[in-house]
Structure 1
């Protein structure tokens, strides 16, 4: 939770490791792009410290994608993420309150009025509300429990945290997926993408293996882009297949249930496989937010590696 505005309004924002811009949904929200969120929508008119960024300002010029609303001399931003979700609205500044001692005047952020593709109830992107993320030295898990894999640089953009993903195992068996499927155009880790994205070949192989292991549970129609779903109302205990991500330096990362299925109704009664296939083989593989929950994720930028340990929350 962070506070935005004067008086500050508490907002649940996700920490996004794959983006350069903080944003939150703002009034007025453009219908039909008003997805449900847990917190009240931020109203800039109710904040005495809020201000819009002008078109000809240095702040507007630093945006990677912007345009000018000439009638109001207002800088308009747009961000499109790797999973095709997007946000656009008014580039703005206001007071940001992290703790009573950590207050930042004139904090730059996007006041989002058209936001699509976000489904987890958060108010926008900044800091994690579910899950545990740490930069630098480990704070929770013992050093022995942390599995480190090296960070890589992608040709498509040096701002991303790249991973050398080479394969996926299901119940101890390596799926028949060539490593080149993941290396071109590459794999990134991104806490701002809710559902992980896989190349079409890799997703088909994972979905087939998952379905083969779940034949004792009744399937149900998919929900939006999630197409492998089950009704578990009559199953007091459920056994999911073991899914592991394999990296090029020999590190194998085992997902727990929260990283394997996505809960449609907030309970374990309606679930879907928590992966989506990309439309095109040339799109990035994304290791997303759902797979990072219940993990301690450590970014050792100086050491050019990222570490994973169980029990983050």
Structure 2
């Protein structure tokens, strides 16, 4: 041990001893420290492991083609599931050839994305970009979840069904290449790039484009149909009696094309017939080359949830994996089938002034090291969006300042990086430490749900993984850094959101 490290370690021990002697008074200091502090390897806070550890609690599933899916879990009695992965992680079935975006790029994209959601949240429609406004070239996030879906059927003859759930006659069909798609709960309309899709109107994706002309079950939604009329703000008129769609994310990205129906394969035993989606022939902005498009799970009529609710139930859940693991998306309820009682639940907020796409919850407080912060609950009145693609949780400034003060106090044993890093203002230099002790941080939701975050949900690349919203009472976000390893249950029919730790 060097003399330069010794004072820091002694200070660290002193701080932990002081905090342990002023806890809740329901146990000895050592047990309380173990409960309210986490000793973690420094490497796990800075760089993910390069080896895939698979699905934790479920059998590992490596997805290359739709026909290679395996039944590895029992979701709710009428549910189904698919595996999720991180695009740059070692569990990705088709790793990208590019380097992952930097933390600076990811947080820059995150701000653009969340600002756009706020702008359109109460507008009742998408934000239309000004034609002369330059498009910001932003990077997609390494934290965005992806899953593989089969769209369309082979060209050979075979039986089909109008039922929303059938057993797939895979023996007589041509193999269907899986379409990797991002999972997004803040958009309603699913879409993928379709041939013909020439550059530069489309982005260069890694896998082959879906060609609806080679699918015997593919058809354009006709103009004048109920499905075309239900597009609402996503409608873009007609062309040759084919319904057209347009999705503007409001953050520099957009997609347009023909509204189609075709078969959606979730796994070998589950096919959704007449699945409606956007067949994109033009995009704007920067999309990840590792995906074919977006599988949207918003609360609107066009989403995967709404289209399958009659079959699987009005609920879904997902588990955001850590960088070295796989996660899952489950339609119909929890992925472990009957484990709904083990979720900490908070009510979904019903706000008629917010577009139905978004899933709102309400925070009531924050705990750091077992202590509830002195934050008036009223500052959380704006609500928070549960979002699968937002990276960092955004808190009201009053709550964020209280969290930062408590966190810095608990981490006083470690040298802080002056000025922060990548827009995060509380970062640490762990170069001289092989392990660090991080205070437990828990989010307290309306209804009494207390969600304790893992260490990777507290810090990202050595920094406190939270940022403030533009102001108190502003719309906040619960990001997927904080959701990591939790199964998040969107029980839309039951009006609640649930959280279960250690699910993936």
Fold-level similarity (TM above 0.5): yes
1:13 corresponds to which residue?
A: 181
2: CA distance between counterparts of 1:85 and 1:169? 36
Match of 2:275 in 1: 107
Q: Does 1:261 align with 2:459?
A: yes
CA contact (8 A) 2:380 2:472 kept: no
Distance in 2 separating the partners of 1:258 and 1:192:
16
- Residue number among 75, 94, 103 corresponding to 2:244 in the alignment: 75
Is 1:289 matched with 2:480?
Answer: yes
Question: Structure 1 residues 66 and 21 mapped into 2: Cα distance closer, same or farther (>3 Å)?
Answer: closer
- The 5-angstrom pairing of residues 238-249 of structure 1 reads 238-249=436-447
Q: CA RMSD in A?
A: 4.1
| Distance (Å, rounded) in 2 between the aligned partners of 1:120 and 1:200 | 36
Which residue, 212, 216, 233 being the options, matches 1:65?
Answer: 233
Distance 2:252 2:466 in 1: 15
Higher share in strand: 1
Q: How far off its partner does 1:217 sit?
A: 4.8
Where does structure 1 lack aligned partners over 5 or more consecutive residues? Answer: 263-269
**Does the 8 Å CA contact 2:193/2:210 hold for their aligned counterparts?**
no
For 2:286 and 2:408, locate their aligned partners in 1 and report how far apart those are by CA, in whole Å: 26
Q: Aligned equivalents of 2:253 and 2:391: distance in 1?
A: 13
CA distance in 1 between partners of 2:264 and 2:380 (Å):
39
Residues in 2 aligned to 1:292 and 1:9: alpha-carbon distance in whole angstroms? 30
Distance 1:300 1:280, change over 3 A: same
Q: How much does 1:286 deviate? A: 1.9
Q: Which 10-residue stretch deviates more, 204-213 or 114-123? A: 114-123
Cα drift, residue 244 of structure 1: 0.9
Is residue 2:351 matched to residue 1:154? Answer: yes
Contact persistence 1:52–1:75 (CA under 8 A):
no
Q: 2:387 matched to 1:190? A: yes
* TM-score w.r.t. length of structure 2: 0.48
Residue 277 (structure 1) aligns with: 468
Alpha-carbon shift at residue 91 of structure 1 (Å) = 4.4
Find out whether 1:125 has 2:295 as its counterpart: yes
Offset of residue 108 of structure 1: 1.9
The residue number in structure 2 matching 1:266 is: none
Q: CA deviation at 1:255?
A: 0.6
Q: Deviations over 1:202-261 (max 9, x none)?
A: 3344344444544515538634x6565556455321333311111232332111123223
Kindly indicate which of the two structures has a greater share of residues assigned to helix.
2
Matched residue SS, 1:78: strand
Cα distance change on mapping 1:234 and 1:91 into 2, 3 Å: farther
Q: 1:167 aligns with which of 322, 346, 365?
A: 365
Alignment pair present for 1:2 and 2:149: yes
1:167–1:179 Cα contact (<8 Å) kept: yes
Q: 1:194 to 1:52 in 2, by over 3 A?
A: farther
The C-alpha deviation readout for 1:234-292, integer Å capped at 9, x for no partner, is 53213333111112323321111232234xxxxxxx34433343335464222233322
State the distance in 2 between where 1:208 and 1:117 align: 37
